[in-house]
Amino acid sequence: MANAQTDTADIGVIGGSGFYSFLEDVTEVRMDTPYGTPSDSLFLGELAGRRVAFLPRHGRGHHVPPHRINYRANLWALRAVGVRQVLGPCAVGGLRPEYGPGTLLVPDQLVDRTKTRVQTYYDGETRPDGATPSVVHLGFADPYCPEGRRAALGAARGRDWEPVDGGTLVVVEGPRFSTRAESRWHAAMGWSVVGMTGHPEAVLARELGLCYTSVTLVTDLDAGAEAGEGVSHDEVLKVFAANVDRLRSVLFDAVAALPADEDRDCVCAHALDGIDTGVELP
């Protein structure tokens, strides 16, 4: 495109704490969707020659807790401005002593331990706008985009931040942190890190045919992996703040390294091939 529209983007970044001023020269776009309003406006701008839409996952001022985020509206709004590839950085707890604060882990698997969240667009329920999605069962064996993971891992290494390549992100309901027993159980299952927002973000992205890559930053050792008092919110924010510039650089580089839209040929890009969703995707 010779003149990129200021109200479109092809890459989305759903940021956690500390990413509210991700881009310069931003266009703020307020969105509404058949699933309600997103956490906040989308902030669109250019980065490394790519059009990027940033969405503060918890809203400006961090007012939306993980279990109350409108994940469906967030992903739908990104797709509606043209986004086809999404990076989802998030803060997590380490479930192994070797995954201490400051560890960057790019998971390749996901376990859902949330309880109350709507995790599909395709529930056969008629929407307020009168459209009725089909009931659709999509493959989700590999929840993350292989191309996005490659871009994120390469970007981290390029910034001398040796990432952990692969591992399982277990997503809990929150907003509380895990008990020691839960935490030890998660670790005993062989899972790597624990967070509160990775689900249903990843599956909703897949349901819209979007590439989704989770990039996790360990801010603390989870209750079962350390000997002290357990996690505090202050501790999490402190470690996140100390690493936020570094993480932003990695995400910028990852954006630059993502494939062009027309070159996407991954499992995510083909997720909806031959499937009748019953509703028109934006």
Q: Write phi, then psi, for 155 (nearest 5 degrees).
A: -65, -40
Residue 268 as a binder of Zn ion (CB under 5 A): the answer is yes
Q: Which is nearer to Zn ion, 108 or 235 (CB)?
A: 108
Q: Which is nearer to Zn ion, 231 or 266 (CB)?
A: 266
Which range touches Zn ion (CB under 5 A), out of 62-70, 118-126, 138-146, 159-167? 138-146
Which residues have C-beta within 8 Å of that of residue 195, sequence separation ≥ 6? 90, 91, 92, 93, 169, 170, 171, 172, 216
Identify residues 191-220 at the interface with Zn ion (CB under 5 A). Answer: 211
Q: Which is catalytic among the residues 10, 222, 245, 273?
A: 222
Of 145, 169, 203, 225, which one interacts with Zn ion (CB under 5 A)? Answer: 145
Q: Which is nearer to Zn ion, 208 or 223 (CB)?
A: 208
- At 132, the amino acid letter reads T
What is the distance between the alpha carbons of residues 253 and 221, in angstroms, rounded to a whole number? 27
Q: Which is catalytic among the residues 40, 112, 220, 253?
A: 220
- For residue 26, CA distances in Å to 53, 92, 167, 234 come to 9, 28, 34, 30
Q: Which is nearer to Zn ion, 209 or 224 (CB)?
A: 209
In the complex, least distance from residue 208 CB atom to Zn ion, rounded to whole angstroms: 12
Residue 90 as a binder of Zn ion (CB under 5 A): the answer is no
> In 95-239, where do the E strands start and end?
104-106, 109-113, 164-165, 168-172, 193-195, 211-221
Active-site residue flag, 220: yes
Which range touches Zn ion (CB under 5 A), out of 15-23, 46-54, 248-256, 259-267? 259-267
Active-site residue flag, 263: no
Residue 266 as a binder of Zn ion (CB under 5 A): the answer is yes
Closest CA to 280 of 11, 80, 86, 83: 80
Closest CA to 5 of 72, 67, 81, 58: 81
What is the distance between the alpha carbons of residues 54 and 1, in angstroms, rounded to a whole number? 20
* Residues noted as catalytic: 220, 222
Residue ranges in contact with Zn ion by CB under 5 A: 145, 211, 266, 268
